[in-house]
Amino acid sequence: MSRKLFAQKIQNIKDEVLLLGSMVEDAVIKSVQSLKTRDVKQAKQIYQHDIELNDKRFSIENAILIVIATQQPMARDLRQLASMLDVISELERMGDYAKGIAKVAIKLENVDLRIPMNDIEKMADLAVGMLHKALTAFINEDSQTASQIPYEDDPVDRLYEDIYHQAVELMMSDPHNIDNANLIMWVGHNLERLADRVTNICERTVFIATGELMELEVDEEDDEMDFE
Amino acid sequence: MVSDLMKIQISVKNFNFFYGKFQALRDINFEIPERQITAIIGPSGCGKSTFIRAFNRMNDLIASVTAQGEIILDGENILKLDPVTLRKKIGMVFQRPNPFPKSIYENVAYGPRAHGIKNKNQLDEIVEKSLKDSFLWDEVKDDLTKSGLALSGGQQQRLCIARALAVEPEIILMDEPASALDPIATLRIEELMQELKLNYTIVIVTHNMQQAARASDYTAFFNMMPDRAGYLVEHDFTQKIFTNPKEKLTEDYITGRFG
């Protein structure tokens, strides 16, 4: 190993990506908590944290561009740096999902609505768990683990469906609930999208390890709920 | 590994090369596609220069060298051809620009004259065309009697390229053609290579991996065996070599983790 300084620079960036990931995990968990406890103060803090999260993403992007420009990385190093550019943008979008959930918490502050909190919490735990595993696999360049993580998306999708139907029931039981129950659908949607984006991180891990850019598609049948 | 779509210009088969008892190259097998740029990279002493010098028999000038195997060009084994005939087909550009201590005109006209062209008009045409093809014409056309040595390093190197082009070779060998040049002159040479490949096959030896990555279509990575004999580790599309090489040794070399 003859490029100690270069290796250190890449390691520093990896550490920052992990830190960004933990900021996102924290934001998602806290956003769901703020919805559960209707804690507007905590929800507003997530807005503030999202600004910090975006700043962190830009500073990592800048550091990656400097390393590319000054160190001329090749092969695996290049794939790793290019993948980190991609991963930080995924993380930044996930942070936005957390912010979206916090926004719902603020809107529902004084609303009397039977929120399917149990399922939402389960969904958040699963999604954050997937993200955590995916980031660990990414940093360790563990493509084997990464290629299995997308299979964990199925329970997340099922919970989303449950939440969706519960929101529809809320709407049907009282039309006054329509707007607020729609917000609950958005919470489910955001968590579902977050788990989907975890797959993109896993794809980058496979790319770093093998040089192959491929979709880790696990859906055998078309999802009726998916119109993207 | 060369794309099936490419026409092969040079085939190297079981090539071994010795300086006395020292084996400098071992069992080289590889194909160089026509009108493409092939870069040869590898650590110092791995036989890159020896290898391309074998193409136009430059090594013949050294006593006690032995070349075994075949280097096939146009159906003939280069190793058995007359060197003068061969060098009309294969021109060479060296690390340091080495214009003759003569005028710009005479530098370019030298080769065609040596091959028997005496007609002044014909020589004028060759000189103009060669200088245009090497992107030097506009800078020197007003005074072709000026000494070649009065030009800048980058201009001298383009003069040497014009001199190589003047005998209308099929192949141009470049042995670190930009290592003595500043970055701007280097980029001009690389741009020029892209123009030249429309009509010529180019083989370039370079220590500058970014140059190989920027300028070539194919890259061959050479390394040394424990007895210091050079061998071919990997040959592939340049973009493949620099993004996802097959061999770990290649990866270690291009990422700077070698040795």
Here the tokens at position A25 are 């995990």
**Band of pLDDT at residue A1, cut at 50, 70 and 90:** very low
Average pLDDT of chain A is 93
Please state the pTM of the whole predicted model. Answer: 0.82
Chain B environment of A79 (Cβ under 8 Å): 243-244
Average pLDDT of chain B is 93
A21: helix, strand or coil? helix
Residue type, A55: D
Task: Please report the residues numbered 181 through 220 in chain B whose beta carbons come closer than 8 angstroms to any beta carbon of chain A.
Answer: 209-210, 213
CA distance A104 to A100: 6
**Band of pLDDT at residue B72, cut at 50, 70 and 90:** very high
- CB atoms under 10 Å from CB of B200, counted, come to 22
Here the tokens at position B95 are 């690390």
Find the mean pLDDT for residues A205-210: 96
Whether B41 has its CB under 8 Å from any CB of chain A: the answer is: no
Residue A3 has pLDDT above 80, yes or no: no
List pLDDT tens digits, range B237-255: 999 999 999 999 999 999 9
CA distance B131 to B129: 5
Chain A environment of B259 (Cβ under 8 Å): 2
**Band of pLDDT at residue B175, cut at 50, 70 and 90:** very high
**Are the beta carbons of B255 and A73 separated by less than 8 Å?**
yes
List pLDDT tens digits, range B89-130: 999 999 899 999 999 999 999 999 998 999 999 999 999 999
Question: ipTM value of the model?
Answer: 0.72
For position B6, what pLDDT does the model report?
A: 84
Closest A-chain CA to B255:
A74
For position B181, what pLDDT does the model report?
A: 87
Closest B-chain CA to A75:
B243
List pLDDT tens digits, range A8-43: 999 999 999 999 999 999 999 999 999 999 999 999
List pLDDT tens digits, range A46-105: 999 999 999 999 999 999 999 998 888 999 999 999 999 999 999 999 999 999 999 999
Here the tokens at position A193 are 């999208």
List pLDDT tens digits, range B142-153: 999 999 999 999
Residue A219 has pLDDT above 70, yes or no: no
Rounded (5°) CA angle B191-B195-B199: 150
CA distance B142 to B159: 15
**C-beta separation of B84 from B98 below 8 A:** no
**Are the beta carbons of B210 and A78 separated by less than 8 Å?**
no
Phi/psi at B230 (5° precision): -80, 145
**Band of pLDDT at residue A222, cut at 50, 70 and 90:** low
Chain B environment of A72 (Cβ under 8 Å): 209-210
- Number of A to B CB contacts under 8 A, please give it: 35
